[in-house]
Amino acid sequence: MPALKLAPISLIVGAVMFMMLSERAESSWLLAPLWAAAIHWVSGVLIITLAGMLPPALPDTWLRLRRWEADGSIYRRLGIDGYRKVLLASPSGPNVFLKFQGRRSQIPDLEQFTKNAEMGHLTLLVVSIVVTAIAWRTGYWRTALFLTMVNVPWNVYPVMLQRYTRSRLRRIRRRLLNESTSLVVSQTS
């Protein structure tokens, strides 16, 4: 079962996030948001590292685009284009793995990359929600607040961006297929 492959990574990342809760950071309105960002950053690096050693997978039913998201309009209404522009202009810059140069042969690799990235962000989102709940319950309410605030741009929107990108790739694939089909039809006519 693919979802069970996520369990070891989720437990390790969750344990690291929990161990990073800090009373000193919690006592300061200035330090708490910085610490929440640090917790997410360390957890993200850890997920990338562990995913390379233990390749987890999401079930195909999760990765399949639903009819309501296939045209990407739901994500555009939620501001994904603006988020993507900010991400591309950020210090981390554009992701070299997602550079589409118009070749049909690139599409499968790009789709797989988006699936892997979605899995990483989704895993971190779920683990972070659990750790945030534990932080809240154990009195780290400032850290819990800032963990929640960091979770949206670092995990919720990246999951949506991966799904939006796959919907764009699907439309490109169809357009390329239609162009090649119409070319074959016109050559045989």
Contacting residues for 6 by C-beta, under 8 A, at least 6 apart: 56, 58, 119, 123
Single-letter amino acid, residue 50: L
The whole model's pTM is what?
0.79
Q: What is the mean pLDDT of residues 91-100?
A: 66
> Residue 1: what pLDDT?
47
* Token pair recorded at residue 122: 């989704």
Query: Which tens digit of pLDDT belongs to each residue from 13-58?
Result: 777 787 777 888 888 888 888 888 888 888 888 887 777 666 556 7
> Residue 88: what pLDDT?
83
Residue 120 pLDDT greater than 90, yes or no: no
- Give the helix ranges, DSSP H, for 90-153: 107-137, 141-151
Query: Which tens digit of pLDDT belongs to each residue from 51-74?
Result: 766 655 677 888 889 999 989 999
Listed residue (106, 139, 144) closest to 128, CA to CA = 144
Query: Which tens digit of pLDDT belongs to each residue from 100-111?
Result: 666 778 888 888
The CA-atom distances, in angstroms, between 30 and each of 25, 35, 75 are: 8, 9, 33
Cβ(172)–Cβ(100) under 8 Å? yes
The chain-wide mean pLDDT, for the chain, equals 81
